[in-house]
Amino acid sequence: MKKLNGNLNIFNLAVFISGRGSNLNSIIKHSLKKKSNYQVKLVISNNKNAKGLTFAKKKGIKNLVIDFTKSKQLIKKIILELNKKDIKLICLAGFMKILPGYFFKLYNGKIINIHPSLLPKYKGLRTHERVILNKEKFTGCTIHYVNRYLDSGKIILQKKIKVKKIDTPETIKKKVLKLEHKMYPEAIEKVLINL
């Protein structure tokens, strides 16, 4: 963390991704605004082909591909990098790996995730298909703390949108993603203010 202008604290963030990285992109874009209270210092992917890595590369943000199946290497490498960069918050953004238990202990209250549903409804995958199948009237997006149970930690921010009769999983996906891009930076700032 570094102090600017004597009154604005800027916190260092790590973002974990697995694929497209559109949320990573919106988090980075927001960090470049004057009023932002964070900067993205590290991007970690479990997938070397993750498209999102290009957003980090373009901005010169340190990015690493880590094989999460090799757990001993994982502990050393990730913890080393998180410490080196003085990371205060880890944001999972489309990160499709379950982190090992020791990780939650080490970073208790310092890992957050975004999920494209109104949790506790529709944990896991294929959320939009299930929303349409069940004829839900509303869906949305949730940002929550991560604990060792899937999509179950304390909710930080949740917003909903209406599901129309003509909506399909694809149209809902687009609308929810647009909402995600606005909400994730907002939730990050909220968490950091209370650190």
- Can residue 180 be called a binding residue for ligand GAR (CB under 6 A)? yes
- In the bound state with ligand GAR, the residue whose beta carbon lies nearer, of 79 and 155, is 155
What is the closest distance, in whole angstroms, from the C-beta atom of residue 47 to ligand GAR in the complex? 11
Stretch that binds ligand GAR, among 39-47, 54-62, 112-120, 153-161 (CB under 6 A): 112-120
- The neighbour count for residue 42, using CB atoms within 10 Å, is 21
Least distance from C-beta 50 to ligand GAR, angstroms? 8
* Sign of the Cα pseudo-torsion (130, 136, 139, 143, in order): negative
Catalytic residue list contains 115: yes
CB of 113 to ligand GAR, least distance (A): 6
CA angle 29, 1, 179 (to 5 degrees): 30
Nearest CA among 78, 74, 63 for reference residue 21 = 63
Which of residues 136 and 151 has its CB atom nearest to ligand GAR in the complex? 151
In angstroms, rounded to a whole number, what is the distance separating the alpha carbons of residues 45 and 128?
Answer: 24
Size of the site for ligand GAR (CB under 6 A): 15
The pair of structure tokens assigned to 7 is 């009154």
Give, in degrees to the nearest 5, the angle at Cα 26 between 32 and 54.
Answer: 90
Q: Which of residues 1-60 bind ligand GAR (CB under 6 A)?
A: 17, 19-23, 52
User: 139, 168, 177: which is closest to 21 by C-alpha?
Assistant: 177
Q: Is residue 140 close enough to count as binding ligand GAR by CB under 6 A?
A: no
Does 157 interact with ligand GAR (rule: CB under 6 A)? Answer: no
Which of 30, 115, 128, 144 does the annotation list as catalytic?
115
In degrees to the nearest 10, what's the CA dihedral of 140, 143, 146, 148?
Answer: -10
Report the residue number, 116 or 185, with the smaller CB distance to ligand GAR: 116
Catalytic (active-site) positions: 115
Q: Give me the residues that bind ligand GAR (CB under 6 A), please.
A: 17, 19-23, 52, 93-94, 114-116, 151, 177, 180
